[in-house]
Amino acid sequence: MREMTIRTILLGCVLAIVLGAANAYMGLYVGLTVSASIPAAVISMALLRGLFRTGSIQENNIVQSIASAGESLAAGVIFTVPALVLIGVWKEFQFWPTTLIALSGGILGIIFMVPLRKALVVDQKDLAFPEGTACAAVLEAGDTGGSGLRAIFFGAILGFIFKLLAAWAHVLRGTIETAFSVGRRVFYPGMDMSPALLGVGYIVKLEIAALIFLGGLIGTGFFLPLLSDYHVSSGLTPLEYAHELSGSQVRYIGVGAMLIGGLYSILLVRAGISAGMRGLLEAGRKYRNQSGGMNTVSPDSQEVERQAEIQEERRRNHDIPLTQLLIGLMIVMGLTFYLYDSLIGDAFVALVVGVAMIVVAFLFVAVAAYIVGLVGSSNSPVTGMTISALLMTSGVVLVLGLKGDQAALAVLGIAGLVCCSACTSGDIAQDLKTGSLVGATPSKQQYGEILGVIVAAPIFAAVLNLLHQSYGIGTGEPGALKAPQSALFAGLTRALVGDEGLPLLPVATGVGVGLAIIILDWFLKYSGSRFRAHVMPMAVGIYLPLSLSVAIFLGGLLRYAGDRVTGRHSETDNGVLFGSGLIAGESIAGIIGGILLLQNIAPDSIWPTEWQPFATALTFVALAGIGFMYFHYARKDDSTR
């Protein structure tokens, strides 16, 4: 049975790099990343059949396992590492520290996840692992390559062209926004003209998209005019004033709401945390017998069939051997010691910080694996786990007497590694669920994930530097990438170990808003309402500009309309694949456009000032056309059939 072959390794590595870079851009843009498993599986099936006229389900599974590692690693990096630049410790993203944070954290997540596989992925029947189950359905269908691949590639082409025309050629408008004052109150309507944001809204579905939009209404629609005190004599236009007030006040209300939402998300899954840790302890006791070598078939002809069944069972339960995991753990510990020693400049402190990181990562890998099985990767409270890790480790750092830049580097270095390990462990848990459903060899998937981490980790420093120099990351300027999680961790780090505190009144207001949302959610839950007010999506919506939330909400409405028309509620319809293509195409165009802008290769705007209304109308028509194509794909037959 062909499974881990040269072609699957090469294709998986290429997709890990491309999808990792694309998700880095999208995560910094909107604060969300999307799973790469299903698009990678569809691309793999189409290419292996189209180019080689072959390709087993196990080969395609290996490709998606390697590729999804790059996507999961992107989330861990972009949520934490940019905070080092935002607080001024780094002037640019340094290659080796960034790479070591991604590499060590990603591999650590895999190493700690391997003993959990049987306890959580196989034996825990109440854990659905929704993305993993959906990906298995795509792989088992076997005929996805035609319409599914066309949906991905057509979406990628449209997203790529639209983004270049908007961000680089300025033929289309990237954001259509305005602001006006009523007395001293300033009101802001606007929308990001982004096909990728439609894709994000479609993929996360209407409920989450609506919560993000409601958060935007709370932040920009309520608090912006409430806090505004606009004077024409200030020399600012209403739009400039709205951007300035959002950056200095409203975004910190979102930070406070995210803070309480992250901590509440951990409290909410406390039973899952206990179950994950019990599973980890149980797996540790049984692991040596489970990970033993595979026996050869008995030569006795009467025993061949029985031995073959035993052999197959052993193959499907064969993990990376314990000795190899221990060697890998020793290597990772050496890398983290080198990383912290180079960041902090004190060998003893680096050793203590490294041990603290291993302990915290060990805890949150079990937590993350259990939670993604329960609610899926998209709803996993990685931000809350990282906040908890940051709070836990900041106490250790302060006890050691670190201050200033040293303390910030230590705290964010630990948070980055823990975030990478939690994201990667959640991803491999979904992939291992897919593998268990399609009959894969777990050890080969695990080796594939490690390979995906190794090839994807070195790209992120270059990608982050490119995006920061081209657009700006978390600067608050119009057109900059918002990076909400990084801004949150930067603010927390300043408050915990730095001389610069958070703006306390807006943050406290955000905490109050978050608590009010939690109380509302309790009321909705116990009243039997189908709609729930989950705090974390709303908190992200408060932080993000309303213009992003509007586009995401429209994508959610497209998903709802498509489901209503077709009468199905599949996780893997052609609309999901089309949206994945839009996200990938726009993200790649954003990176390429950034390269061109850095090289001063950009055409002058073709529209005179008096023609701007025409550019606005053309942008609406182009986005409406993409929305029509979206609805067309959403109405097609389910991609898994």
Distance separating alpha carbons of residues 507 and 505, to the nearest angstrom: 5
pLDDT digits (tens, 9 = 90+) for 372-414: 776 566 656 677 677 777 777 777 787 888 888 888 888 888 8
Provide the sign of the torsion angle of the four alpha carbons 463, 467, 469, 473, taken in this order.
negative
Provide the sign of the torsion angle of the four alpha carbons 522, 365, 31, 398, taken in this order.
positive
Please report whether residue 142 resides in a domain: no
Which 3-state string (H, E, C) describes 97-163?
Answer: HHHHHHHHHHHHHHHHHHHHHHHHHHCCCCCCCHHHHHHHHHHHHCCCHHHHHHHHHHHHHHHHHHH
Residue ranges, the chain, pLDDT below 70? 1, 50-51, 53, 124-128, 130, 141-148, 262, 265-266, 268-304, 371, 374-381, 384, 498-502, 568-572, 602-611, 635-641
Name, in order, each residue with C-beta under 8 angstroms of 371's C-beta and a sequence gap of 6 or more. Answer: 269, 272, 276, 380, 381, 426
Please report whether residue 205 resides in a domain: yes
The reported pLDDT for the residue numbered 386 is 78
Residue 190, beta-bridge partner list: 177
Report phi then psi at 473, rounded to 5.
Answer: -115, 115
Report phi then psi at 628, rounded to 5.
Answer: -65, -45
Question: In 500-534, where does DSSP find H-type helix?
Answer: 504-526
Please report whether residue 30 resides in a domain: no
Please report whether residue 498 resides in a domain: no
The reported pLDDT for the residue numbered 12 is 92
Q: What would the two tokens of residue 485 be?
A: 């999680």
Question: What does 12-61 look like in DSSP terms, one character per residue?
Answer: HHHHHHHHHHHHHHHHHHHS-----HHHHHHHHHHHHHHHHS---HHHHH
Distance separating alpha carbons of residues 397 and 356, to the nearest angstrom: 10
* Of the candidates 372, 369, 363, 371, the residue with the CA atom closest to the CA atom of residue 393: 363
Q: Which helix (H) or strand (E) is 82 found in, with range?
A: helix 82-86
Q: What would the two tokens of residue 324 be?
A: 């190899």
Distance separating alpha carbons of residues 277 and 370, to the nearest angstrom: 9
Please report whether residue 217 resides in a domain: yes
Provide the sign of the torsion angle of the four alpha carbons 272, 274, 276, 278, taken in this order.
negative
The reported pLDDT for the residue numbered 256 is 84
* Of the candidates 481, 471, 619, the residue with the CA atom closest to the CA atom of residue 165: 619
* Three-state DSSP state, 346: coil
Q: Interior CA angle at 111 toward 110 and 116, to 5°?
A: 85
pTM (2 decimals)? 0.79
The reported pLDDT for the residue numbered 379 is 57
Please report whether residue 431 resides in a domain: no
| Pairing label, strands 180-182, 185-187 | antiparallel
The reported pLDDT for the residue numbered 415 is 87
The reported pLDDT for the residue numbered 640 is 40
The reported pLDDT for the residue numbered 641 is 38
What is the residue range of 553's domain? 154-249+531-635
Please report whether residue 610 resides in a domain: yes
What crossing angle do the helices spanning 535-543 and 251-268 adopt, rounded to 10°? 160
Distance of CA 72 to the CA centre of its chain: 6
Here the contacts of 243-248 (C-beta below 8 Å, separation 24 or greater) are 243/476, 243/477, 243/478, 245/186, 246/188, 246/219, 246/220, 246/476, 246/545, 247/476, 248/503
Q: Total structural domains in the chain?
A: 1
Distance separating alpha carbons of residues 175 and 595, to the nearest angstrom: 21
Please report whether residue 148 resides in a domain: no
